[in-house]
Amino acid sequence: MLHRRGLGWAFLGLAGVAVACLPLLTFDFSPQTLFDSTSGRAELWRHYRAIYGADDHVIMALVEAPADRADTWALLAGLEQQITERVPQVGHLRSLTSQPVPRSDAPGSVSIGPLSDSLPATDAAAAALASQARDHPLISGTLISSDGSAVAVFMKADDDVAAMAVVRPVVQELRAIARETEAAHPGARVHLLGPHPYRVTVVGVMISEELRFVPLTALVLFAVLWLLYRSAIGVLIPMLSVALGALWTAAAMALAGQGINIINTITSTLILVIGVADAIHMMTRYGQERRAGLSRDDAVRRALSSVGLACLLTSLTTAVGFLTLGTAQLAILRSFGLFAALGVMLTFALSIVFVPWALARSPVDPVVRDGERGEEEGLLARLLEAQRRFVQKHPRAVAVTGLLIAAFFVAGIPRATVDNYIMEYVPRDEAILEAHRVLEEKLAGIVFLEILLEAPGGPDEPWLDPDLLARAADAEATVLADPAIQSVDSVLGLLRELRWVQRGGEGSGEARDALPTSRAEVASLLLLAEIAGDEGVSRSHLSFDRRVLRLTARAADVGARRYLELERRLKVSLAQAFEGSAVAVTPILTGTSQVGYGGIDSLIRDLLRSLGWAFVLIFVTLALLFRSWTLAALAMIPNVLPVVVVLGAMGWTGRHLETLSAMVFSIGLGIAVDDTIHYLARWCEEVRAGRSPEEAVTLATQRTGRAIVYTSLVLLLGFGVLYSSRFPPNQSFAVLATGVIASALVADLFLLPALLLWFRPHVPGAAR
């Protein structure tokens, strides 16, 4: 292989094919990809979504402008007109100027229409209308804030506006309208909120992050490799090796139709950082053999034969760490694990094919200058020697100290919580995040919860029964009383307002929140709404057969943990509200947010279970390849420690586990075990050569310890690049990954040799 000239053309040709495939890669992200589509929640959600439409297609224009000014009402009218004319994919617009409400135009008459047939011409007229809107039960808190400083325009995108290629132009046009509106009305601010603007924001950041991370990671690796080898070719060989691996992985994703999403956006960075470690181990061993006097070809052969098996082991265990994500329910996680594992194995293949070939074919030695002999000296060599002496002098004390540290962090693990927030995927400097904060402070939140009250049995049209409606009103009040709920929309509000207006409004002396008292009155009020031309609320919140009454609650982004607690509370209180009713009522909770929070909570727990599988599979792999259960068990101890330390630290510091931070443990375990394998493989090699465990530790530390430090440095700096990400989860991933790698480095240099010297395990193939 060393002198095959045709290999160079093969590498070049395959790289060209991979580059040609890259335009097939797409960027997209939908929160629904994080849902467990096989769960009962998801099946229920799909069933009612088909009946009531997609609740995740709601878009909101939040306007920060005083409602007591005539200019604000003109702004709302103009905004609705522009959207209607320029964005045909959006309909069902509602604002203060268009929201239909029951009203009386003359004594004894009832109609349904906007608060006013014309826009207020003066600020005084606007202030009067704003006051009326703030007091209106169907408008206050949803279309206007209690202090009148913020108003909203609600709209709904068509159900076929789903793919990013369709969503992006719609959102871009709406944002252009918002900017033009702000320019025409100085002092007003118009924000776009909802799932579609959220998706476009996240995907835009994903693209910019991907274009920035790959060259930035490459620059960091270039700098580290230059410090190690001080040679352009010494930098070029490992860089080309990992670049080809990352390129072929991206091409495989493109050919398989797998786009870039919020989960796999770090794949290229992972492949670059992980892959360069094998190349460094290969080149470090090559340099040691060259300094020992071997020719370049012989040094390459020796490095490949001795380090190649260890690289195979490390690549397998890292790939296993990724493949354990295949136990998750979500396709997005399974595909990430599959392609990341594929990328790891591709870079391994390049490490044992391209790197040796390039070392032999290079016109000059990329690692060792001609005539250079002896061990490489320097500060690192002296530090490793001091560390080795300390461990050999106090092996039991080092091992016991490591286990005590592990026990401390194990105690913190139960304090770690699993949680997830919708907006934590949005960079902190994005305008949509500030708009989301304003929305939750001044209007109802962006999280929708559908509560369906089903009465499948009993008489026909059961929800015309006043007694059952009274129980539904009690249930609605219970929901509203929960501190997490900010508003509830239902047909009950429409019935109350219709009854109050029909009986004379303010001059009647009737209570505005009273419900109809007979079936006939309920039926007549619903008929009145239909005749008046507004079937929106009555049809969308009460089924045609009058057996399903729907409450739409809105809440703040409270997180998965608090949301699931809210769900449990509501189920109990809703069941109590209908105990003893003449007609059996079944409360059902569903909606996109409900499925999302529940699905992501299950996803994170799946990831933690995959960590358990990673431990088992990596242990079995080590036992089979080292041919010793004892060696495998000792090797796992310093690799359990980093995971325990980081997970326990999260518990002690009060940090919560979200999707990417939960992924880091399975991935980190597969990466952390790499250095353990290299150290243990070299120790076994020296023991088989007839050396004592102490002598084997000395040589393994001197000759492999350097490469372990180098690769750990590369991993730390490579993952550190993610800390510059604008995505908060990527920053958390970087912190946790560097914590795992740093802990693994300390464990491999101190705890592993201490355990080997304490237990002195038998090495297969060596004399006892």
Tokens at residue 50, please? Answer: 């088909």
Q: Are 729 and 202 in contact (CB under 8 A)?
A: no
612 shares its domain with 574: no
Inside any domain, residue 322:
yes
pTM of the model: 0.78
How far is the C-alpha of 484 from the C-alpha of 503, rounded, in Å?
Answer: 35
Give residue-wise pLDDT tens across range 479-518: 888 888 888 888 898 899 889 988 888 877 788 889 999 9
Mean pLDDT of 629-647: 89
How far is the C-alpha of 617 from the C-alpha of 195, rounded, in Å?
Answer: 39
Q: Residue 754's domain spans which residues?
A: 6-28+201-415+597-759
Compute φ and ψ for 713, nearest 5 degrees: -60, -45
Q: What is the DSSP letter of 748?
A: I
**pLDDT score of 72:** 95
**pLDDT score of 281:** 84
Q: Is pLDDT of 56 > 80?
A: no
Q: Is pLDDT of 710 > 80?
A: yes
Task: Provide DSSP, 172-199.
Answer: HHHHHHHHHHHHHSTT-EEEEESHHHHH
Residue for token digits 């209007």?
A: 443
Residue 151: its H or E element: strand 150-157
- At 28, the amino acid letter reads D
Give residue-wise pLDDT tens across range 134-169: 999 989 888 999 999 999 999 999 888 888 888 999
387 shares its domain with 276: yes
Q: What is the CATH number of the domain that holds 158?
A: 3.30.70
Look at strands 586-590 and 548-555 and give their pairing.
Answer: unpaired
How far is the C-alpha of 107 from the C-alpha of 114, rounded, in Å?
Answer: 18
Mean pLDDT of 709-717: 86
Q: Are 174 and 432 in contact (CB under 8 A)?
A: no
Mean pLDDT of 525-550: 75
Domain boundary among 553, 578, 593: 593
pLDDT band at 750; cut points 50, 70, 90: very high
Tokens at residue 604, please? Answer: 């994170």
Beta partners for residue 656, in sequence order: 417
Tokens at residue 38, please? Answer: 């096989």
49 alpha carbon, distance to own chain's centre: 24
**pLDDT score of 47:** 75
> Among candidates 743, 727, 512, which has minimal Cα distance to 637?
743
Inside any domain, residue 427:
no
Inside any domain, residue 745:
yes
Look at strands 417-418 and 656-657 and give their pairing.
Answer: parallel
Inside any domain, residue 235:
yes
638 shares its domain with 689: yes
Helix axes 659-688, 629-653, angle to 10 degrees: 150
443 shares its domain with 500: yes
**pLDDT score of 289:** 86
Inside any domain, residue 33:
no
**pLDDT score of 692:** 92
How far is the C-alpha of 703 from the C-alpha of 697, rounded, in Å?
Answer: 10
Give residue-wise pLDDT tens across range 377-429: 678 888 989 999 999 999 999 999 998 999 999 999 888 887 777 788 788 88
**pLDDT score of 188:** 93
pLDDT band at 705; cut points 50, 70, 90: confident
**pLDDT score of 125:** 94
Tokens at residue 330, please? Answer: 């979500």
581 shares its domain with 607: no
**pLDDT score of 654:** 85
> Among candidates 632, 645, 733, which has minimal Cα distance to 673?
632
Task: Provide DSSP, 505-567.
Answer: GGGGT--TTPPPSSHHHHHHHHHHHHHTT--HHHHHSB-TTS-EEEEEEEE----HHHHHHHH
**pLDDT score of 532:** 64
380 shares its domain with 455: no
**pLDDT score of 87:** 94
188 shares its domain with 322: no
**pLDDT score of 318:** 84
Contacts of 209 (CB under 8 A, 6+ apart): 265, 725, 726, 727, 730
Domain boundary among 571, 593, 615: 593
Domain boundary among 575, 593, 611: 593
Q: Are 378 and 705 in contact (CB under 8 A)?
A: no
186 shares its domain with 282: no
Mean pLDDT of 230-245: 89
Q: Is pLDDT of 231 > 90?
A: no
Q: Are 283 and 241 in contact (CB under 8 A)?
A: no
Residues in the chain: 768
74 shares its domain with 170: yes
How far is the C-alpha of 480 from the C-alpha of 722, rounded, in Å?
Answer: 42
Task: Give the count of domains, the chain.
Answer: 3
687 shares its domain with 606: yes
Inside any domain, residue 105:
yes
Sheet hosting strand 58-64, strand order edge to edge: 90-94, 150-157, 58-64, 189-193
Round the average pLDDT of the chain to a whole number and report it: 85
**pLDDT score of 144:** 93
Burial of 261 (0-12, 13-18, 19+ CB in 10 A): buried
577 shares its domain with 612: no
59 three-state secondary structure: strand
Contacts of 497 (CB under 8 A, 6+ apart): 101, 102, 137, 138, 512
**pLDDT score of 375:** 54
Q: What is the CATH number of the domain that holds 367?
A: 1.20.1640.10
Inside any domain, residue 446:
yes
Q: Are 240 and 358 in contact (CB under 8 A)?
A: yes
235 shares its domain with 362: yes
Q: What is the DSSP letter of 298?
A: H
Give residue-wise pLDDT tens across range 310-331: 888 888 888 887 887 777 777 7
Inside any domain, residue 185:
yes
